[in-house]
Structures are given as structure tokens and as C-alpha cells.
Amino acid sequence: MSTLRLGVSLQPRWPHADATAVLRAASHAEDLGFDHMAMGNRLLDSGFGLDADPLVLLAAVSAAARRLRLLTSVLVAPYYPPLVLANQAATLDVISGGRLILGIGTGWNPDEFAALGLQTKERGARTDDHLAAAKALWSQRPADFDGSFTTLRGARLGVPPVTPAGPPLWIGGHSDAALRRALRFGDGWYGTGVSAADLTDLRRRLHELDDGTGKAERLTLAAAAFLTPPGVPAVTEPPGRPLGGDAATAASVVDDLGRLAEAGLTTCTLWLPIAAEHVEKAMDWVAAEVAPQLG
């Protein structure tokens, strides 16, 4: 659609009576020229949107739309044992022809961690362990690995990924620990609700933490941004400043996206806090009024 790649989040609460609505929306997004579809990761009902498993839902999207990239936004690494994570991600990487991007986070929900028998305080260490083990499984046959929570001996992953060394990892988070994780494991950094000033500061911090390896300069910078198009009612308050302000216009949205692109953002996921029945209308507006001005 433009030099700044735009995608759409699949978070609206889709009607259970019409399970194919989300797939029709994905197909429509592809027809309009969007870059990707994104799906978050919640296990318990949040009351916030569609709380499906992202890898399962994106597998269905990969069949409904044959060009769109598939982004987990974000997948909570501690929820998935490393072998399961590596196998499921590799499976989706294969069936989608290499279109999967794993946006990865440490998670935050104490109820979900407790239900899984996990300790929230271990989420960072588990994320590092699971990512390192998964990368070993994707790149080595057989794989040996010794981590804080995972041990592998001569492990051969059942489904080798089609993408060399596995799907790209975009690491979420704003803390120094998250940025170090992005530099260690990631092909990109993934944020939420950032401003151009935030991105400028983030790039500075990445370079300071990089220790001269040059990795900071090579990371993809991507983020989710909140958008309620004019004439479309919001059904929930966005957890941050929306694109274009509280009363968005095409001009104000384009201005915000342009500033983000100038600050280094290359990919933006549009999170739409609207009812499912208005998603296609919202995508039509972005494709007609915003995307043509971003070139």
C-alpha cells in the first residue's frame, strides 16, 4: 500500500454465530492491499476482543488469504513449551509459505500464569529460554540445548521450518531487558502506541545497549497503533493515544503515520477498537483515504 507497511489486527470480538467473518475480513484486507493480519494471545476471556489462539487462527487466515503476512501480536512465549512453540510455528511457517512473523512478549496476566502453573516473576527468564531452545530446534538437526528450564539432547524437530533458521522474531517491550532480548534474539522490535518521539528515543537506547555489534541498525521497527476511523463508533477505549487524535481525519492519520515512518517505523498494525461488523468499512476507509497519501 505504501512504503510504510500497514496491517490490521484481528482483535474485535467476532460473532460466534458466524465463525467465518474473521476469515472474510482477512480476504478483504488482502484484496485492499494490506500487508499483514495480526492476532494477540490471551487464554482467558478478557472482555476485550477475540481471545483465540493466534497460531491456530492465523493458520486459518493463511488459507483464506494467500499473500498476507501473518503476525502474532504478540505471542506470550512462556505459555508455550519450547518444543511445542517451535513445532507449531514451523508448521505454520511451512503451510503459509514462509509468511509467519512471530511477535513475542513475556506476558503480564497473573490469572493466566496461575492457571498454567507458571510464576509471573519467571516470565523474562522463560521467554529467553524458550526462544533460545526454539531457535536451536529450527536451525540444528539434531539439536542439543541446555537452558534454565529446557534440556534437549539430539532433538529433531518434526517439521523443519521453510524459513532458514525459523520465522523472524519481533520482540515486544520497552524495558532495557526487552531491548536486550530484541538485540539477542530478534529480527525486529515490536511496540504498541508509540509516538515518533518514543521511536527516536528507542533507537537511541537500542544503539546504547548494542555494544557495537551493529544489530540495532538492522532491526525492523514495527508497532501496533490504535485507530477509530471517522463515522465508525468505537466500542471500547483504546489503551493509548489513537492515530490522528480523538477525532481522526485522513489528514491527521496520515500526518501521524508519516512522522512514525520518518522516525524509523517500517510496519504498523492498525488496532481497531470497533465492532466486528464495521471492520471491513474501516479497512475500506484506510485503503481509500490514508494509504494513497503515504507513498
Domain boundaries, the chain: 5-293
Q: What is the pLDDT of residue 1?
A: 46
Distance CA(183)–CA(35), nearest Å, equals: 25
Q: What is the pLDDT of residue 237?
A: 84
Mean pLDDT of 159-164: 97
Q: What is the pLDDT of residue 3?
A: 82
Specify the DSSP class assigned to residue 240.
S
Q: What is the pLDDT of residue 283?
A: 98
Mean pLDDT of 120-148: 98
What whole-number percentage of the chain has pLDDT above 90?
Answer: 89
Band of the pLDDT at 47, cuts 50, 70, 90?
confident
Under a CB-based contact definition with an 8 Å cutoff, are residues 257 and 292 in contact?
no
pLDDT 10s digits, 16-29 = 788 789 999 999 99
C-alpha cell at 99: 509468511
Q: What is the pLDDT of residue 36?
A: 98
Q: Which residues contact 116 (CB under 8 A, 6 or more apart)?
A: 43, 79
Q: What is the pLDDT of residue 148?
A: 97
- Of 3.40.50.300, 3.20.20.30, 3.40.50.1820, 1.10.10.10, the CATH number of 5-293 is 3.20.20.30
pTM of the model: 0.96
Q: What is the pLDDT of residue 278?
A: 94
Beta bridge mates, 146: 151
Mean pLDDT of 191-196: 96
Distance CA(238)–CA(271), nearest Å, equals: 9
The chain-wide mean pLDDT, for the chain, equals: 95
Q: What is the pLDDT of residue 242?
A: 94
Distance CA(60)–CA(227), nearest Å, equals: 25
Q: What does the angle CA 221 – CA 227 – CA 231 come to, to the nearest 5 degrees? A: 155
pLDDT exceeds cutoff 50 at 142: yes
pLDDT exceeds cutoff 70 at 212: yes
Mean pLDDT of 180-187: 98
pLDDT exceeds cutoff 60 at 143: yes
Write the burial class of residue 1 (CB in 10 Å: 0-12 exposed, 13-18 middle, 19+ buried).
middle
Q: Which residue has the higher pLDDT, 203 or 14?
A: 203
